[in-house]
Amino acid sequence: MIIDRISDTRQKLTCANGKQITLIGTAHVSQGSVDEVVQAIDEMQPDRVCVELDTGRFQAKTENKGWENLNLKTILKENKGFLLLANMALSSYQKRLGQQTGVAPGDEIMMAASIAKEKDIPVSFCDREIQTTFKRAWRLSNFWNKMKLISALISAIFSDEKISNEDIEKLKETNVLQSMLDEMAQELPTIKKVLIDERDQFLATSIYLAPGSNLVAVVGAGHAPGLIANIQRLEDETLSADLAEISAVPPASKAGKFVSWFIVIALLGIIGIGFFRSGWDKGLTMFLYWFGLNATLTGVAALLSLAHPVTIIVSMLAAPVTALNPTIGVGMVAGILEVTMRKPRVKDFENVTEDILKFKGWFSNRIIHTLLIFMTTSIFASIGTFVAFPLLINSLR
């Protein structure tokens, strides 16, 4: 494969079979990227345009779909509350960047698809389905990496740092991008693998196999180096074009289930030892101590989150019970109760991406407020369980 570097953001790849791919690396909230995409398609007159979008995201953008189809109860029952929160935080952060630069996130991708359709040029949506990407990232991450990801996203949306157009344009520079990717690989290796490396492979394969001999491919600048490397590997036949493995959502970790049930058994075992070694009174005291610690911390979390009084009371009672059943988390119970007691309004769905950017919005928007209660009660209940262990063991002495 021959690689011709036209500019810092545009490269022409000539494959062994004669196919030419003009690769444009963009920043997703950059007016410069939008202008470059328009210019490149006009100049190249390609027989196909490939874009870093999946069909579902394209339809959502063109039909202006928001969060109105969100079924919060179902999401909480499926234990996807943290995943939804991460998704919302990322969407809101991108929207804030777009407001600062005057360019909506992904405008250059949408422009590429729009111009192609105007010129009757076929469009290939070459990215992996977004929910598959999020689910893979979530399933393959351990608990601490999940917490680090959510913390990073929440910190980003509350940051008052201003991003200029010059800062955005710098994101297209190879050395800046590589530094950011290296940092992500160090801090969140699984997230980097799923969000960047796997999608590099998916995009490269989809573009390489797309019909046509003169293609224009519009992708985020962060994907360009990996995309070129993967196309080269496809050319050399050292990379399979089969995408089945990275298109599937892995099952829940067996190790995670084992640890959850091990904690339950260990907890009951410690209390059981108290009954057998020190009698009924001691065992009952230990049980009530654990029950009270778990219930109190969960109640504090719900209270600090300004949950509905019914949610607070029931969550406190449910916390010790759900701690003995890893398939049902107290956060799920608290979230479902809250969304039942305070049903989301139309304005909550309409304003979710704006409200999540404001501290007040986490309490006034009923969708975000429910997720806040889900998150805090889940975390505090987990703390209660782990804090109880050394205290109960110490009481046996």
pLDDT in tens, the chain (397 residues): 899 988 888 999 999 888 999 999 887 656 777 788 888 899 889 999 999 988 888 887 776 665 666 788 888 888 778 778 777 777 776 666 666 655 566 778 888 888 999 999 999 999 999 888 888 888 888 877 877 777 776 776 666 666 555 655 555 554 444 555 556 567 778 888 988 899 999 999 999 999 999 999 999 888 889 999 999 999 999 999 999 999 998 887 777 677 777 877 888 888 888 788 777 777 788 888 888 888 999 999 999 999 999 999 999 999 988 888 877 889 999 999 999 999 998 888 888 878 887 889 999 999 999 999 999 999 998 888 888 878 777 777 6
Query: Would you state the pLDDT for residue 241?
Result: 93
3-state SS track over 180-244:
HHHHHHHHCHHHHHHHHHHHHHHHHHHHHHCCCCEEEEEEEHHHHHHHHHHHHHHHHCCCCCCCH
Residue 257 pLDDT: 73
How many residues in total does the chain contain? 397
**Contact predicate 103/94, CB 8 Å:** no
Q: Are 205 and 234 in contact (CB under 8 A)?
A: yes
Q: Is the separation of the CB atoms in 121 and 49 below 8 Å?
A: yes
pLDDT of residue 177: 46
Q: Are 21 and 217 in contact (CB under 8 A)?
A: yes
CB atoms within 10 A of CB 2: 9
Instruction: Compute φ and ψ for 367, nearest 5 degrees.
Output: -70, -50
Distance separating alpha carbons of residues 59 and 44, to the nearest angstrom: 26
Q: Identify the CA nearest to 200 among candidates 231, 218, 223.
A: 223
The pLDDT of residue 97 is: 62
Long-range pairs for 352-355 at CB < 8 Å and ≥24 separation?
A: 352/66, 352/67, 352/88, 352/92, 353/66, 353/67, 353/88, 353/91, 353/92, 353/95, 354/92, 354/95
CA 155 to chain centre: 15
Q: Which residues pair with 5 in a beta bridge?
A: 11
> pLDDT value at position 176?
46
- Give the pLDDT of residue 33: 77
Cα–Cα distance measured from residue 262 to residue 277, given in angstroms and rounded to the nearest whole number: 22
Contact (CB, 8 A) for 373 and 109: no
Composition of the chain by helix, strand, coil, percent to 5: 70, 10, 25
Q: Report the distance separating Cα 270 and Cα 131, nearest Å.
A: 41
- Predicted TM-score of the model (pTM): 0.75
Q: How far is CA 272 from the centre of its chain?
A: 41
Q: Which pLDDT value is given to residue 226?
A: 92
